[in-house]
Amino acid sequence: MDGFGSIPKVYVRLMQIFGYTQLTSRNRQLVRSKFLLVYSSVLLISTVSWLIYAVIRMQYKTNPLGSNQVGRIIDYAQMVGIGIAYTVTMVETMVHHRKQRRQFEKLKEIDGLFKSVLKVDTGWATNGKEVGLTCLLMFSAYFLFSSYTLGFNLYLKEFSTIEYWALYTILSKLCALRYFELYAIVTAFKWRLTKLNECLQGLKLSTKKLMDLDNPKKLKFGFYHTEVYLQKTNLESASHHQLDVLRRIYYHLWDLNKIFNQSFGLSLLVNIANDFILMTAKCWALITMQATAVGLVEYLRLLAFILSLIPHGFNIILICRACFLAAQSATKSALLVHKIPVDSDNHKQNFLIEEFSLQLLHQKIAFNAVGFFNIDMSLLYTIAGATTTYLVILIQFYVNSKRG
């Protein structure tokens, strides 16, 4: 696993088992494994074949989540949407394997600069608890929600829906795993930006006041002047080197951000679009089901629909929050650079600060879905507003149809 740097073995194995990476470490180098490529291809073909077979069979079976036409349409939308999202994710992983390898290598290079030059540890050992806890809570909740749906169908003795439930559960968890993978990458990205900001805050660049060279009492003897001058020179050299290394680290992080957008942007777009469509459709189904709910079974069915909404919303909130926090850390880096004191007599220091400032101005860190929209907290407001708008339109049609 040396080729993957500080990335945990469990994480790498998990991505390999579910086909989200075909890379393996060989002689401390990352190479594409032919076995993993064939394995991922077989996994994709098998899943898509099962999906097509299940969708065709759904035409001849009882509607698994509701007897009305709206519920039947949502069932088809769920199966087709989640199948497309998973297929796009797998194909994207296979196509962008070089960029994925470059991403791991770039992350390893950044960690090397932190450790060798700045003496800062950025490994998962110190920061991995947050990601591990999120993974545990995320998939535990999803397991409970899926178990409730299965138990509800068994209670109604709708055994024909077990196949539908199993396929949808597998595909939805695979797409949720993709969200978790992106969350882990962005969170690791944010850790390094946080360490960068800590180094910027602790950076001590020399100034006249720092060394107090203008005090005539302390410059009475020539040897003292020479000693202080040498101390200032050494401090300046070390500080300038650290500032230059921090500037290079930021460039590598910006390059890593660009690779992320290119490697994962399409799957982000498709998964978020699928979650948005399903949330809107399920909210509409809740409204129509609530209007006709009269017994215990109908209310249990309503609860199943509500629980099925939570994973879609949580996936979007998870990735939006992670990308937002990472972008905020990048903004903080720019503010810290502008707070570095300027010494009018130190041209080299001023040049480094100016160069870093221009770099921060032109190389802004932001996460997007292949350029369609940025992934941040504003996306949540956009989705909420769009969902409300479509629901109002659908409710108007529903009321008019009832009157007619």
User: Which residue from 364, 310, 264, 274 is spatially nearest to 140, judged by alpha carbons?
Assistant: 310
3-state SS class at 365: coil
Contact in structure between 98 and 270 (CB atoms under 8 Å): no
What is the pLDDT at residue 224? 45
Cβ burial of 391 (10 Å; 0-12, 13-18, 19+) is middle
What is the pLDDT at residue 3? 63
Q: What distance lies between CA 165 and its chain's CA centroid?
A: 27
What is the pLDDT at residue 227? 46
HSE at residue 305, side-chain half, CA atoms within 13 A, is 27
Contact in structure between 16 and 36 (CB atoms under 8 Å): yes
Cβ burial of 116 (10 Å; 0-12, 13-18, 19+) is exposed
Separation between Cα atoms, residue 86 and residue 251, nearest integer Å = 32
Whole-Å CA distances, 315 to 137, 173, 319, 328, 350: 12, 11, 7, 20, 44
Contact in structure between 200 and 336 (CB atoms under 8 Å): yes
Separation between Cα atoms, residue 44 and residue 239, nearest integer Å = 52
- pLDDT per residue, tens digit, the chain (404 aa), is 466 767 778 888 888 888 898 888 888 788 888 999 999 999 999 988 888 887 777 666 544 444 456 666 777 778 888 889 999 999 999 999 899 889 888 888 888 888 887 787 776 666 677 888 888 888 888 888 888 888 888 887 777 777 788 888 888 889 999 999 999 999 989 999 998 998 888 876 655 544 444 454 444 444 444 544 444 555 556 777 888 888 899 999 999 999 999 999 999 999 999 999 888 888 887 777 665 556 777 778 778 878 888 888 899 999 999 999 999 999 998 888 888 877 767 777 788 888 888 888 888 999 999 889 999 999 999 999 998 898 888 888 877 777 76
What is the pLDDT at residue 210? 46
H or E element that contains 186: helix 162-201
Rounded (10°) CA dihedral 45, 48, 54, 56: -100
In sequence order, which residues have a C-beta less than 8 Å from that of residue 395 and are 6 or more positions away? 287
What is the pLDDT at residue 178? 92
What is the pLDDT at residue 213? 47
H or E element that contains 293: none
What is the pLDDT at residue 119? 80
HSE at residue 125, side-chain half, CA atoms within 13 A, is 5
3-state SS class at 384: helix
Q: What are the tokens at 184?
A: 């882990």
Residues in the chain: 404
Q: What are the tokens at 288?
A: 């129509």
What is the pLDDT at residue 214? 47
